[in-house]
Structure 1
Amino acid sequence: KFIGNLENITFTEGFLESKEHGGFLFVMPTFQKLDDLELPKTPFLCGILIQKQEVPWAKVFPIRLMLRLGAEYGVYPTPLTSIRHRKPLFGERGHTVMNLLVDLRNYQYTLHTIDNLFIHMEMGRSCIKIPLNRYNEVMKVMNTSNEHVISIGASFSAEADSHLVCVQNSDGVYQTQANSSTGQPRKVTGASFVVFNGALKTSSGFLAKSSIVEDGLMVQITPETMEGLRQALRGKKDFKITCGKVDSGDLREYVDICWVQNEEKTNMRITSPIDGKSMEGTQNEKIVQEGDFEMDGKLIKCTEVFYLVKASELCSHPPYQFAKEIALACCAALCHHLKTLKNNGMNKIGLRVSMDTDMVEYQAGSGGQLLPQHYLNDLDSALIPVIHGGTSDATKLPLEIELIFFITESLMM
């Protein structure tokens, strides 16, 4: 199973001599000290052992559990070590705002979390930063929400110096704390979600209301303001919500919705398995592969594609379908060699395809070395027809993509 940041593996039976252990929550290290630890090559994830009663939060709203662990053990944003036989940090669900936003019972739906969307709260102002390249995801949230409520999950922000934490006390009541990276007074505090509720009556005497609820931000607005917000989001326009009483003069707070270029560097420290070339800042996409390629108890899967040509030079739609066709051809070609490849330590393979009007070539490698020739012979016969099919449309050239494959143990052994 392939696991990403803030994803989980859960157990149905006991583990490490305890029936209370529920699984692992996987996190990408950020501010934690990693001195004196023997670490694998980046990128890597750390698995934190979680308790059975914490599993629902790991499944539907993992950032809440991650930050709560950090507050409990005095690490920001979360510890990377596991503590066995500890008390669970969440108990019976009780009255939480999340009962309205996620399915904590059957996990049929959850809060849509948008990568690199950040909620920053400062004195008198909250700013919701939406990356321009996540516009389609924002539209998906709008199209699936009802007319009165828009709710969005946020990412953990490395720009904030602290973060809201939701704590459930011994009576089951949910309360708000904050955990800080420095222990110093907080300037910018991150939040984990925002809810815009468009049911505020004009007769309430408020322009809008902004308040902290658990580890998120609740913004109550009038139906007219909600309509303005929806139009702004559809048009990728910034939008300012003024909060406070109609007659309160200068006592105002503001909620700013801002579209931003994605400032976060993507794919930090990620390099190509072919030749160690840096992938930092390169646009990439997960690949959903149809069908399994298994042989001798091993399985090969393509997990993602990197678009090495600059985004400005790409056609309006990255060639995802073409990348999938190449991935399937490569899996079919290497299927007979999986055991040998894995036994020789070549379990992560890169395939780079470069195409222009007068040039077509590919390279395949692992661990910084090109694959031996006998593998390339099989790849030639599988890939060349697919690649030449992709050069027929000159409007989509030049094109350079790199696909990443992993060889793992098959569960069907």
Structure 2
Amino acid sequence: MLRLGAEYRFYPCPLFSVRFRKPLFGETGHTIMNLLADFRNYQYTLPVVKGLVVDMEVRKTSIKIPSNRYNELMKAMNKSNEHVLAMGACFNDRADSHLVCVQNDDGNYQTQAISIHHQPRKVTGACFFVFSGALKASSGFLAKTSIVEDGVMIQITAETMDSLRQALRDMKDFTITCGKADQEENQELVHIQWTEDDHNFNKGVISPIDGKSMESITSVKIFHGSEFKANGKVIRWTEVFFLQSEDQPNGLSDPADHSRLTENVARAFCMALCPHLKLLKEDGMAKLGLRVTLDSDQVGYLAGSNGQPLLPQYLSDLDSALIPVIHSGACQLSEGPVVMELVFYILEIIS
């Protein structure tokens, strides 16, 4: 998206699509991603911690990690190579410029910076960072920092890598001084900082059931969820939100713990509405929400679209399909109450 911004001179990216444009990236050339991602086994991504950003300023780089993402960071770090720690960063909305990777006609990659027009650059965002623990103490450098494509690489000694990993485990800030030990005036600092909890997501998203704001509520996009076809339409489960409850003010500890329950609920909902897909779509109810409450003394659901509950004509089929699944899920609860909202779309089948 940033590369599109660089192409069409919009920051951070254009709001429109240009049809039949030339691809911005061609065959994979000589890129640092060959070293960081396993292309042979079709693993093309770096782990990304939600809310983690990289701020680059004059002689200072700050990697900022939200405190409520500690578990995500540990999961990514524990899977990493002991000599290399690499992660993708999120878009930095506090930055006024961003590094962009550009591939030229020869297939080589170059770095550009895209910025807000007529505004001085103070903070530049980066798309990833790499710590490499292969620097020799005999090199005369305390550490080295450099821009690589649209990210930043910090070369450190094996001892510094051990200290960095321990600081992350202990959730402590850590500072690395880069440059030659005997040239203080040319040194740069890399700060790893734990910041306030990240609640900057799902902005502007509202529930199709009653218009409730979903801002800062944890959600999981569903890419291969339940999908059922009937009468030339298809109903598809696309997302699940884990709503906050009094006993769990920060939502579920790990949404993956409830993957089987959400899948069973989604399947029952889709099957129950299959006979009604054509009518729902014609009535403008293409986006549907299902909010399920599981508690020791309260079990139930709400279904709606366009901020209104579904009409009684649909509820009989929903009751028959959902109530057994929900009660079964409530019996298997090992923790406090669970409130989750599933989102579905009714789409046309394109032959």
Q: What is the CA–CA distance in structure 1 between the aligned matches of 2:22 and 2:323, rounded to whole Å?
A: 58
Amino acid at match of 1:281: S
Aligned to 2:249: 312
Aligned to 1:334: 273
Gaps of 5+ in 1: 1-65
Aligned 8 A contact 1:166 1:215 in 2: yes
Larger relative contact order (CA 8 Å, sep ≥ 6) = 2
Aligned to 1:390: 329
Aligned to 2:177: 242
> What secondary structure, in the 3-state scheme, does the structure 2 residue paired with 1:150 have?
strand
Instruction: Please provide the CA RMSD for this pair.
Output: 2.7
Aligned to 1:74: 9
> What secondary structure, in the 3-state scheme, does the structure 2 residue paired with 1:269 have?
coil
Q: Select the residue among 262, 279, 291 that pairs with 1:323.
A: 262
Q: What is the CA–CA distance in structure 2 between the aligned matches of 1:295 and 1:173, rounded to whole Å?
A: 49
Q: What is the CA–CA distance in structure 2 between the aligned matches of 1:85 and 1:313, rounded to whole Å?
A: 45
Q: Select the residue among 309, 315, 328 that pairs with 1:370.
A: 309
Amino acid at match of 1:165: V
Aligned 8 A contact 2:227 2:234 in 1: yes
> What secondary structure, in the 3-state scheme, does the structure 1 residue paired with 2:98 have?
strand
> What secondary structure, in the 3-state scheme, does the structure 2 residue paired with 1:76 have?
coil
Aligned 8 A contact 1:289 1:301 in 2: no
Aligned to 2:187: 252
Shift of 1:92: 5.4
Shift of 1:180: 0.8
Query: Does the alignment pair 1:347 with 2:286?
Result: yes
Shift of 1:134: 3.5
How many residue pairs match? The answer is: 347
Q: How does 1:217-232 map to 2 (within 5 A)?
A: 217-232=152-167
Q: What is the CA–CA distance in structure 2 between the aligned matches of 1:406 and 1:238, rounded to whole Å?
A: 44
Aligned 8 A contact 1:287 1:324 in 2: no
Q: What is the CA–CA distance in structure 2 between the aligned matches of 1:313 and 1:90, rounded to whole Å?
A: 40
CA separation of 1:410 and 1:196: change in aligned 2, threshold 3 A: same
Identity among equivalent positions (%) equals 59
Query: Does the alignment pair 1:404 with 2:339?
Result: no
Superposition TM-score, scaled by structure 2 size: 0.88
Q: What is the CA–CA distance in structure 1 between the aligned matches of 2:23 and 2:200, rounded to whole Å?
A: 35
Aligned to 1:118: 53
Shift of 1:380: 0.9
Q: How does 1:14-413 map to 2 (within 5 A)?
A: 66-84=1-19, 86-91=21-26, 93-102=28-37, 107-170=42-105, 172-287=107-222, 292-310=227-245, 311-312=248-249, 314=251, 316-318=253-255, 320-321=258-259, 322-392=261-331, 396-410=335-349
Q: Which deviates more, 204-213 or 85-94? A: 85-94
> What secondary structure, in the 3-state scheme, does the structure 2 residue paired with 1:242 have?
strand
Aligned 8 A contact 1:164 1:192 in 2: yes
Q: What is the CA–CA distance in structure 2 between the aligned matches of 1:287 and 1:91, rounded to whole Å?
A: 29
Shift of 1:272: 0.9
CA separation of 1:398 and 1:88: change in aligned 2, threshold 3 A: closer
Aligned 8 A contact 2:47 2:76 in 1: yes
Q: What is the CA–CA distance in structure 2 between the aligned matches of 1:96 and 1:395, rounded to whole Å?
A: 47
Q: What is the CA–CA distance in structure 2 between the aligned matches of 1:355 and 1:101, rounded to whole Å?
A: 42
CA separation of 1:262 and 1:385: change in aligned 2, threshold 3 A: same
Q: What is the CA–CA distance in structure 1 between the aligned matches of 2:293 and 2:25, rounded to whole Å?
A: 51
> What secondary structure, in the 3-state scheme, does the structure 1 residue paired with 2:113 have?
strand
Aligned 8 A contact 1:121 1:191 in 2: yes
CA separation of 1:103 and 1:69: change in aligned 2, threshold 3 A: farther
Aligned 8 A contact 1:289 1:324 in 2: no
> What secondary structure, in the 3-state scheme, does the structure 1 residue paired with 2:163 have?
helix
CA separation of 1:305 and 1:209: change in aligned 2, threshold 3 A: same
Superposition TM-score, scaled by structure 1 size: 0.75
Q: What is the CA–CA distance in structure 1 between the aligned matches of 2:13 and 2:133, rounded to whole Å?
A: 34
> What secondary structure, in the 3-state scheme, does the structure 2 residue paired with 1:361 have?
strand
Q: What is the CA–CA distance in structure 2 between the aligned matches of 1:76 and 1:350, rounded to whole Å?
A: 34
Show CA shifts across 1:308-349 (max 9, x none): 224436564456243333222212211222222222221211
Show CA shifts across 1:144-184 (max 9, x none): 33222122111211110100122344555433221112432
Aligned 8 A contact 1:161 1:182 in 2: no
Show CA shifts across 1:237-285 (max 9, x none): 3222111112223542111112333435221111111111211122222
Q: What is the CA–CA distance in structure 1 between the aligned matches of 2:10 and 2:72, rounded to whole Å?
A: 32
Shift of 1:104: 6.3
Q: What is the CA–CA distance in structure 1 between the aligned matches of 2:169 and 2:290, rounded to whole Å?
A: 38
Aligned 8 A contact 1:315 1:396 in 2: no
Gaps of 5+ in 2: none
> What secondary structure, in the 3-state scheme, does the structure 1 residue paired with 2:51 have?
coil
Aligned 8 A contact 1:391 1:397 in 2: no
Aligned 8 A contact 2:302 2:309 in 1: yes
